[in-house]
Amino acid sequence: MKRVITYGTFDLLHYGHINLLRRAKALGDYLIVALSTDEFNLTEKNKKCYYSYEKRKQLLEAIRYVDLVIPEENWEQKKTDIHQYHVDIFVMGDDWREKFDFLKKQCEVVYLERTPEISTTQIKMEIKNGNNT
């Protein structure tokens, strides 16, 4: 069984997220999503989430491509997760290109192209400006 892992906040879940998860799952048989906790987002990423960790986890668990959701609590846990969950492929969006190449010693690292016309930041800006179409 080929195991794939990806990481993210997945706040205001949108079709760009679904595209990433679909393409990540297509690389293997089992997709693990490490979901950033509220504390990690706030203290390390300087992000305040719209939805709580538990609600974001529920949404991800409802997606057919996702087999397991685990908490992401710090930047350093990636190496441990890869070992603990017997991961074959580490996947991130291409906005992180080369940032995780150090993991190539443990598994294959793949950067997937982002869906260009959508992002959570864009959605938040549109909501703030009253342009939610």
Give yes or no: 45 in active site.
yes
The answer to whether residues 114 and 16 touch, using CB atoms and an 8 Å cutoff, is yes
Token pair belonging to 114:
């982002």
Catalytic pick from 2, 25, 47, 48? 47
Catalytic pick from 45, 55, 104, 124? 45
> CA-to-CA distance for 36 and 26, rounded, in angstroms?
23
Q: Which residues are catalytic?
A: 45, 47
